[in-house]
Amino acid sequence: MKDKNLPNDYNSLSLEELTKEANKMIDDLESQKDLESSIENYQNLLKLNNIIEKKFQNDGKSINEKTKAKILKITTEKNAKKIK
C-alpha cells in the first residue's frame, strides 16, 4: 500500500495526532451499516496504520540513539575523572 495516497499529509503529524485520526476512522467504520461502502475507509485506515508504525519505529530509533549518546558521554566523563 502506498502511504502517499492518503488525502492529508499525515507524515507531518505527531504520533498522538495520527492516533486520534485513526480512532476517528475506527469510530466511523464501526458506525457504518453498509460494509461495501466501508472498504475504502478501511483501506485508508490500514495505510494510516502503516504510517503510524513507521513513525513509531523512527521515534524508537531516535530515542535509542540519543540514549546511547548520553550513556557514552557519561561513561567518558567518569573515565576521564578516574584518570585524573
Task: Check residue 6 and give its pLDDT.
Answer: 56
8-17, 49-58, 62-71: which range is least confident on average? 8-17
CB 19 within 8 A of CB 56: no
- pTM for the full predicted model: 0.69
Mean pLDDT of 7-35: 86
User: Is the pLDDT assigned to residue 32 strictly greater than 90?
Assistant: no
The cell numbers describing 21, all together, are 485520526
